Structure 1
């Protein structure tokens, strides 16, 4: 986790408060699938307690765990971009308490207030970049020949 991607550090307090006005408290038992790759992305979460693993479908194998998310981290960014389908899967790896957000309501707020929309877009963009990097590293760890994944 990088501090630039957690809600508390990525969003200015005024935007964080506006977003939290839409929050709904939810909880998930360990082993609960939050979403599946390729399905409709209509909500997102911010972890309060517990951990959630992000995984990638690999044909003929078990899903590859890409990253594990915890306190303050955004679960789900696919809701923000067309075609609004999940790019990964997610599963609670421990009991999770989270804030849940309806994606359409957040997108409506973003459209009504361009500064709020820009703040959300920058936050989500940072998360996407970090997840892409984590996915690349994890897939190189799993499938590349030894020594081929070194970063220079």
Structure 2
């Protein structure tokens, strides 16, 4: 079985996770590529599709690609600015996996926190007013924590995700 890792990365976070996933895939019959609107749908039997999260979902290009795959085993992975929220991660997964067509086998999803562009922090600061001080403070704390991600623990968790998938195949 050939495994294909395809990913879209805006700031480099998802690319780091893609590299960790690729290194954990057993054997040599594997490939990794930055997502660039591929149209060759027979590149692999198992796909790890990576994305960065914007407003709780993946880009239209990634969603369209997922919808074009037929008869494949598909695992998702991604990064988002929000951390330590399993509930939020599940919502992201649910929003994205619905684009996987019947006839494919869904293998699961790995998500972790990733750093955000500084413009996001500046936006938070501009949004601050006396009525939302507590909420904005939490958003700023999350932003600052995200600067350290993905970290070595995130990489190890991504690799464990791959090991769990291959142990079930």
TM-score (norm: length of structure 1): 0.26
Higher relative contact order (CA 8 A, sep 6+): 1
Greater strand content: 1
Q: Which of the two has higher C-alpha Rg?
A: 2
Q: Could you tell me the TM-score, scaled by structure 2's length?
A: 0.25
